[in-house]
Chains A and B, each alone.
Chain A
């Protein structure tokens, strides 16, 4: 499941060293960051003139992604039993106000389509499929975006979000793709609708008059923001945000959490958790260390047969000898991670505020 290039060729001794330094309180990370600190990144948005919204994000480890948001008008599928349809029958005799009252319909999940291109992977490989499913379900979970794509009863916008990972996936690329999508959607604009009611839609060709997909107030501050997805690893009792590839190699559990704004007007206060997924940590595939007592090179005795060596290895829990993690994640650690993400002033809040400073 994890990208093959993310499996570093680290020796069991190196893995054990990394693991024990990350298990300390407070944990010591290889690059000296604090647990909630992110790597510096370069971001710009609105870079593709032919897309409705676009962004480019470059992490300091050299991974880079471009996202483009394109919107197309599409005919809606007729639903014979829909509540809107019965509304139409009721209000048919009424004047135009009836049409005005029902200006907002409900959207469908299939109106948002996401594709992720990762170099070296086919588009039906597990990694791109998993990444796009994760990002799509976060976008759909807040339920407001798809309703904004509704034009009238006969037409809707179909939103295509295409993400291109330009570099090889060195570490798990989920945070990079999520931040790029976030910026691209923030900068996405839809042309202003000129037609009324259920006419064939006609749009204002003045791009200056277009409206943001995520509405803003008169001063340009966002009223709503796309969700972001963060990657967290758990090592022992500790958890670490934005793991580098070395840290991923010793993680006991990897989880991706999506947080979005709540629909209340108190925008910056409350973030809500929209989705959680565990990801298979690459550490389970690492080679296990052999303690000196069992190593034929160290003791000079004849090596044990494989099954006996396995049995002798099983009971040992020597400090400094790497054991690939078994089992899952403790529930207490999970609760701590959730709290750290969504609490007011938490990590998700901090990342969102940081991304707001990117010039459109």
Chain B
């Protein structure tokens, strides 16, 4: 639905600033690319907190660690942030009764929205949801529908709203100058996969905060097949790593010149099931292996989620926690 009361931004989008320091040459500019300092199987640190929005029935906030800059800020020639991070907030409204005019629904009517704030990425997003946001919302709905026990709320609806305050970039700003695949406009690029995984985790935390019955805690994980950075051309890189693509967990797209394939899963660790799987790209490795790696990332994220929920549970129900001790994944407890 187009909002006629709002003045929307230009439909064509605005060009990001191009700095002369980045045009010195594709080869030289590659040296400024942020470098992944983590191990391939290591995730960025996650900050997760539930109950941040008092007016919502459930809410959560997720933030990924911002990688430390490789060059000190005094030597930086550009103020474009080279790397990107993720800041998501999720609010849940409901379960609330559906209006009388709506037809009978035997289970909980779930509506999910993922919205990028206009300033979330390098390219400005309008207030009206674009195709990427709609697509991500559909993915999130699939991920959550499988965990929510919907038949306990007939004739009810719940709104899950994830706002992306800072989104992962699809690629490094230096690559924008060199053309190549354009992540903007078409289908979501690699950055949106990280956003989806974060959205699944943060929505799961908010569901617990709202006290909605779920079969398990669902967490999101990403894995990607990355290649060596092509334009370094055998600089001071390790020679054995060249021509080889390998799987990394929780990729930050600006750090990799080439991403061959990526996979997001929403994973239920207790049941060993996948409610949402989104994989794209022509992977050199078998698809099953990529899925397994993404599941490993989701498993690691689950630890953070459980800790965050326990922390809130201790605040909300000090007596219950003392008597039962640590009952890890019991999510009905916080309801």
Q: Could you list which residues of chain A lie within 8 angstroms of chain B, going by C-beta atoms?
A: 1, 77, 79-84, 86, 106-110, 112-113, 124, 126, 129-130, 132-133, 136-138, 140-143, 146, 255, 260, 272-280, 284-288, 310, 324, 326-331, 334-335, 338
Contact of A1 among B142, B179, B266, B275 (CB under 8 A): B142
User: Could you count the A-B residue pairs with CB atoms below 8 Å apart for me: how many are there?
Assistant: 176
Tell whether, in the assembled complex, residue B186 and residue A274 are in contact, meaning their CB atoms are under 8 Å apart: no
Contact with A along B253-290 (1 / 0, CB 8 A): 00000000101001110011111111111110011100
CB within 8 Å of A: which B162-197 residues: 174, 177-189
CB within 8 Å of A: which B126-170 residues: 129, 131, 134-135, 137-139, 141-142, 145-147, 149-152
Tell whether, in the assembled complex, residue B179 and residue A79 are in contact, meaning their CB atoms are under 8 Å apart: yes
- Which of A136, A324, A331 gathers most chain B CB within 10 Å? A331
Contact of B131 among A109, A133, A329 (CB under 8 A): A133
Contact of B282 among A132, A274, A278 (CB under 8 A): A274
B23-31, B37-45, B243-251, B323-331 - interface stretch: B23-31
Report the minimum CB–CB distance from A46 to chain B (whole Å). 27
Tell whether, in the assembled complex, residue B146 and residue A81 are in contact, meaning their CB atoms are under 8 Å apart: no
A143 — which chain B residues lie within 8 A by C-beta?
Answer: 282
Tell whether, in the assembled complex, residue B282 and residue A141 are in contact, meaning their CB atoms are under 8 Å apart: yes
CA distance A153 to B216 in the complex (A): 53
A81 — which chain B residues lie within 8 A by C-beta?
Answer: 22-23, 25-26, 29, 174, 177-178
Tell whether, in the assembled complex, residue B279 and residue A83 are in contact, meaning their CB atoms are under 8 Å apart: no
Tell whether, in the assembled complex, residue A288 and residue B106 are in contact, meaning their CB atoms are under 8 Å apart: yes
Contact of B23 among A80, A107, A324 (CB under 8 A): A80
**Provided the pairs A80-B23, A130-B135, A327-B215 are in contact, do residues A287 and B106 lie with their beta carbons within 8 angstroms?**
yes
Contact of A79 among B131, B178, B181, B215 (CB under 8 A): B178
CA distance A65 to B107 in the complex (A): 33
A274 — which chain B residues lie within 8 A by C-beta?
Answer: 280-282
CA distance A326 to B275 in the complex (A): 9
Report the minimum CB–CB distance from A108 to chain B (whole Å). 4
B278 — which chain A residues lie within 8 A by C-beta?
Answer: 275-278
CA distance A109 to B187 in the complex (A): 8
- Which of A132, A273, A286 gathers most chain B CB within 10 Å? A273
B142 — which chain A residues lie within 8 A by C-beta?
Answer: 1, 278-280
Contact of B182 among A110, A129, A275 (CB under 8 A): A110
Contact of B183 among A109, A113, A138, A287 (CB under 8 A): A109
Tell whether, in the assembled complex, residue B177 and residue A86 are in contact, meaning their CB atoms are under 8 Å apart: no
Report the minimum CB–CB distance from B274 to chain A (whole Å). 5
Interface residue? B18 (CB, 8 A): yes
Tell whether, in the assembled complex, residue B135 and residue A86 are in contact, meaning their CB atoms are under 8 Å apart: no
Interface residue? B60 (CB, 8 A): no
Interface residue? B291 (CB, 8 A): yes
Tell whether, in the assembled complex, residue B182 and residue A331 are in contact, meaning their CB atoms are under 8 Å apart: no
Interface residue? B295 (CB, 8 A): yes
Tell whether, in the assembled complex, residue A110 and residue B184 are in contact, meaning their CB atoms are under 8 Å apart: yes
| 20 CB-based A-B contacts, threshold 8 Å | A1-B138, A79-B177, A81-B174, A82-B26, A108-B180, A110-B184, A126-B138, A133-B135, A140-B181, A140-B186, A140-B187, A142-B282, A255-B277, A272-B283, A273-B283, A277-B277, A328-B275, A331-B273, A331-B292, A338-B288
CA distance A326 to B147 in the complex (A): 7
B267 — which chain A residues lie within 8 A by C-beta?
Answer: 328
Instruction: State the main secondary structure of chain A at its contact with B.
Output: mixed
CA distance A106 to B145 in the complex (A): 40
CA distance A324 to B151 in the complex (A): 9
User: Nearest chain-A residue to B107 (Cβ)?
Assistant: A285
Report the minimum CB–CB distance from A286 to chain B (whole Å). 7
Tell whether, in the assembled complex, residue A288 and residue B273 are in contact, meaning their CB atoms are under 8 Å apart: no
**Provided the pairs A276-B278, A278-B277, A280-B142 are in contact, do residues A129 and B135 lie with their beta carbons within 8 angstroms?**
yes
Interface residue? B105 (CB, 8 A): yes
User: Nearest chain-B residue to A81 (Cβ)?
Assistant: B177
Tell whether, in the assembled complex, residue B138 and residue A129 are in contact, meaning their CB atoms are under 8 Å apart: yes
Contact of A83 among B106, B134, B178, B181 (CB under 8 A): B178
Tell whether, in the assembled complex, residue A108 and residue B138 are in contact, meaning their CB atoms are under 8 Å apart: no
Report the minimum CB–CB distance from B250 to chain A (whole Å). 19
**Provided the pairs A1-B141, A79-B179 are in contact, do residues A136 and B187 lie with their beta carbons within 8 angstroms?**
yes
A284 — which chain B residues lie within 8 A by C-beta?
Answer: 107, 145-146, 150
A1 — which chain B residues lie within 8 A by C-beta?
Answer: 138, 141-142
User: Nearest chain-B residue to A323 (Cβ)?
Assistant: B151
A83 — which chain B residues lie within 8 A by C-beta?
Answer: 26, 178, 231
Report the minimum CB–CB distance from B232 to chain A (whole Å). 13
CA distance A279 to B135 in the complex (A): 12
**Provided the pairs A137-B280, A284-B150, A335-B288 are in contact, do residues A278 and B135 lie with their beta carbons within 8 angstroms?**
no
Tell whether, in the assembled complex, residue B216 and residue A80 are in contact, meaning their CB atoms are under 8 Å apart: no
A110 — which chain B residues lie within 8 A by C-beta?
Answer: 182, 184-186
Tell whether, in the assembled complex, residue A331 and residue B22 are in contact, meaning their CB atoms are under 8 Å apart: no
Report the minimum CB–CB distance from B215 to chain A (whole Å). 5
Report the minimum CB–CB distance from B85 to chain A (whole Å). 24
Report the minimum CB–CB distance from A110 to chain B (whole Å). 4
A107 — which chain B residues lie within 8 A by C-beta?
Answer: 181
User: Nearest chain-A residue to B214 (Cβ)?
Assistant: A326
B231 — which chain A residues lie within 8 A by C-beta?
Answer: 83
Report the minimum CB–CB distance from A216 to chain B (whole Å). 22
Report the minimum CB–CB distance from B224 to chain A (whole Å). 14
User: Nearest chain-A residue to B29 (Cβ)?
Assistant: A81
Contact of B186 among A112, A276, A277, A338 (CB under 8 A): A112
Report the minimum CB–CB distance from B291 to chain A (whole Å). 7
CA distance A287 to B155 in the complex (A): 12
User: Nearest chain-B residue to A287 (Cβ)?
Assistant: B106
Tell whether, in the assembled complex, residue B277 and residue A276 are in contact, meaning their CB atoms are under 8 Å apart: yes
B215 — which chain A residues lie within 8 A by C-beta?
Answer: 326-327
**Provided the pairs A108-B179, A277-B277 are in contact, do residues A327 and B147 lie with their beta carbons within 8 angstroms?**
yes
- List the 9 closest pairs (A to B, CB-CB), nearest first: A81-B177, A328-B275, A328-B273, A79-B179, A108-B182, A275-B280, A287-B106, A276-B279, A280-B142
